[in-house]
Amino acid sequence: MPSRRELANAIRALSMDAVQRAKSGHPGAPMGMADIAEVLWNDFLRHNPGNPQWCNRDRFVLSNGHGSMLQYALLHLTGYGLTIGDLQQFRQLHSKTPGHPEFGYTLGVETTTGPLGQGLANSVGMAIAEKVLGAQFNRPGHAIVDHYTYVFLGDGCLMEGISHEACSLAGTLGLGKLIAVYDDNGISIDGKVAGWFTDDTPGRFEAYGWHVIREIDGHDAEAVKAAFEQARSVADRPTLICAKTIIGFGAPNVCGTHGVHGAPLGDDEIRATREFLDWPHPPFHIPEAIYAGWDAHESGARWEREWDEIFADYKRAHPELARTFERRIRGDLPGSWQSLARELVQQADEQRRTVATRKASQMALNGFGQHLPELIGGSADLTESNNTWWDDCTAVSRQDGDGNYIYYGVREFGMSAIVNGIALHGGFVPYAGTFLVFSDYARNAVRMAALMKIRSIFVYTHDSIGLGEDGPTHQPIEHLATLRLIPNISLWRPCDAVETVVAWQAALERRTGPTCLSLSRQNLPHQPREPGQLEQIRRGGYVLRDAGPEPQAIIIATGSEVALAVDAQERLAAEGYRVRVVSMPSVDTFLAQNVAYRESVLPSAITARLAIEAAVPDSWLRFVGPQGRILGLSAFGESAPGPDVYQQFGLTVDQAIETVRNLL
């Protein structure tokens, strides 16, 4: 039987060989953390290579994702179907081994990491999901949700501010099944971190309320094993294991230096490393005895069989709960979903309420939420402003995980990455809110949700200069345009309560990426519609008001500016102008429609077009063309009542009327 060090050396060899072949990559962290990874994956991690999606598996997150070859080597050695050929294609086009781990590309990768600190925050979300799902479904004698979340992280993860946001909340919530391993190697790209990172990291995490295990020799397998055992014995707090390692361990001439952090070792150093590690095998060759020491198929199948037996007993004792659990794990909405959605849309249309769309959003949550136990919400200290709390919400706390609402505090970035972790875990549809202007704080986590194609929902209220007196620091100008620029983001900016219900329906149904809901602070009037128009809202853009079979001009608007467009159309009609109003709550959804539908809404023959949105105008150029006009904003806002700010910037009915007249 190979020794622990020999098993760990397989990681080191594969990592240095793959980076060398690619002429690019980061061999230092995989070589430094190999001993820790060997202990975790062989002694503690419950997983099944034969079924990587087994719902009660332990989650493993590599937050220091630049060390991706550590994860790829582990997945290959334990039997996830990642071949030697895949490792030889490290960092190559269309390979299963991209430069940083990417969710959806490689079986066994739980989340996309690389932007430092976000994997750590994702792991907090996964641990929250485990805690809440267990509280909702576990019953005496039937623990069907019972797993750990393990995360590896480095100095860079801890320097990023998101680590404070996420880990502070993790301590507050007492996430005892979250175990983090800090690779304390003292090196980053620029050299020894002592010149710019001298935090008392153990003290910092103790202040968060974490259980901290200090000064573990990361190359002493028995010490590492004892640390994991101690961490697992503490049930009421997350644990940070501070492991001292040597970056690039085994490379005799460059280990412990920044030279091994992010560059191939080179042929000479690889030869020296093979000699130092007593690893005489050629590149990418792993002896059968080493494979046998790593193979997790038998243990994984056993763990899943044992869980299957537990779940079978649970299913007999609690059949309705079991059916709901299975549905939620699949990510399916209830069978009655479509009829429920139609009913809520119809109800909103019949009520004809003048209401802020942030309030309409809360009304939609009250309608949908009572039928969707998988909804878990939250806000970054703006619950009453975002209206993200609905009637059946209960808060998740340290003492009680049986809730569906998280008070995130002022942690927009951490909140958004945690939402991603909850979505990745499964069993939930998470949403969370802040002001649209503060999406800037959260931007990279929103981008990661789009990259991973996961169902995260971001509720952004106070979405224009209409919020008024808080002024330009809080008035979003460029945010709608920049969110629309992120691939695979779906953004909805509804104009009234009806469109808001449809926006929520679209967000809840969308399983291929995140949705951003842009909602008003100020009240917006109900827009009367014909029955057929209710169905067309789901297409992202539709004719809200028409002017007969031959319109002379088109006004396109979103959100709070739709009412302005309708008022302008009515006054223009009194003057004899035939103007169509198109409401376009979701640009991306409209652009995904077929050409015939888009042409029916925006006939190419009508070149007199005006777009109105209280934001930078750039994203509307494609719709109005060279002969059209845009009423928008090219400057920051002002502090004043909302109507006065609209007047100041020319976003008025009079200005819209004058512009259409000039176009005609």
SS3 (DSSP) at 382: coil
CA dist 590 and 609 (Å) reads 17
CA dist 597 and 571 (Å) reads 28
Look at strands 515-518 and 457-461 and give their pairing.
Answer: parallel
Backbone angles phi, psi at 433, to 5 degrees: -125, 155
Q: For position 549, what pLDDT does the model report? A: 84
Q: What is the pLDDT of residues 269-307, one digit of tens each?
A: 999 999 999 999 999 999 999 999 999 999 999 999 999
Task: Give the mean model confidence (pLDDT) for residues 380-400.
Answer: 98
CA dist 536 and 542 (Å) reads 6
Please choose, from the candidates 499, 609, 608, 514, the residue with its C-alpha nearest in 3D space to the C-alpha of residue 560: 499
CA dist 586 and 499 (Å) reads 10
| SS3 annotation, 2-33 | CCHHHHHHHHHHHHHHHHHHHCCCCCHHHHHH
Other CB atoms within a 10 A radius of the CB of residue 326 amount to: 13
398 is in an annotated binding site: no
Length of the chain: 664
Residue 548 pLDDT level (bands cut at 50, 70, 90): confident
470 is in an annotated binding site: yes
Give the pTM: 0.98
232 is in an annotated binding site: no
Q: What percent of the chain has pLDDT over 90?
A: 99
SS3 (DSSP) at 146: coil
Instruction: Specify whether the CB–CB gap between 515 and 507 falls below 8 A.
Output: yes
Q: What DSSP state is assigned to residue 610?
A: E
60 is in an annotated binding site: no
What are the percentages of helix, strand and coil residues in the chain, rounded to 5?
A: 45, 15, 40
CA dist 563 and 570 (Å) reads 11
Task: Give the mean model confidence (pLDDT) for residues 563-577.
Answer: 97
Q: What is the pLDDT of residues 643-657, one digit of tens each?
A: 999 999 999 999 999
CA dist 190 and 100 (Å) reads 20
Q: For position 227, what pLDDT does the model report? A: 98
* pLDDT at residue 326 is higher than 90: yes
94 is in an annotated binding site: no
Instruction: Specify whether the CB–CB gap between 238 and 127 falls below 8 A.
Output: yes
Task: Give the mean model confidence (pLDDT) for residues 396-414.
Answer: 98
Task: Give the mean model confidence (pLDDT) for residues 395-411.
Answer: 98
526 is in an annotated binding site: no
Look at strands 553-557 and 211-217 and give their pairing.
Answer: unpaired
Q: What is the pLDDT of residues 597-613, one digit of tens each?
A: 999 999 999 999 999 99
Q: For position 352, what pLDDT does the model report? A: 97
Over the chain, what is the mean pLDDT? 98
Task: Give the mean model confidence (pLDDT) for residues 8-36.
Answer: 98
Q: Which domains does the chain have, with CATH numbers?
A: 4-301 (3.40.50.970), 336-518 (3.40.50.970), 540-663 (3.40.50.920)
Task: Give the mean model confidence (pLDDT) for residues 39-64.
Answer: 98
Q: What is the pLDDT of residues 452-505, one digit of tens each?
A: 999 999 999 999 999 999 999 999 999 999 999 999 999 999 999 999 999 999
458 is in an annotated binding site: no
440 is in an annotated binding site: no
For 409, left (φ over 0), alpha (ψ -120 to 50), or beta? left
657 is in an annotated binding site: no
Burial grade of 220 (CB within 10 A; 0-12, 13-18, 19 or more): middle
Per the structure block, which two tokens stand in for 382?
């703006």
462 is in an annotated binding site: yes
Query: Which residues have a catalytic role annotated?
Result: 412
64 is in an annotated binding site: no
Instruction: Specify whether the CB–CB gap between 488 and 411 falls below 8 A.
Output: no
Distances from the Cα of 660 to the Cα of 338, 571, 610, 657, angstroms: 40, 11, 7, 5
Q: What is the DSSP string of 457-504?
A: EEEEES-SGGG-TT-TTT--SSHHHHHHHSTT-EEE--SSHHHHHHHH
Q: What is the DSSP string of 252-277?
A: TTTTTSGGGTSS---HHHHHHHHHHH
* pLDDT at residue 531 is higher than 90: no
CA dist 119 and 112 (Å) reads 7
Burial grade of 62 (CB within 10 A; 0-12, 13-18, 19 or more): buried
3 is in an annotated binding site: no
Instruction: Specify whether the CB–CB gap between 209 and 172 falls below 8 A.
Output: yes
* pLDDT at residue 379 is higher than 90: yes
Q: What is the pLDDT of residues 104-119, one digit of tens each?
A: 999 999 999 999 999 9
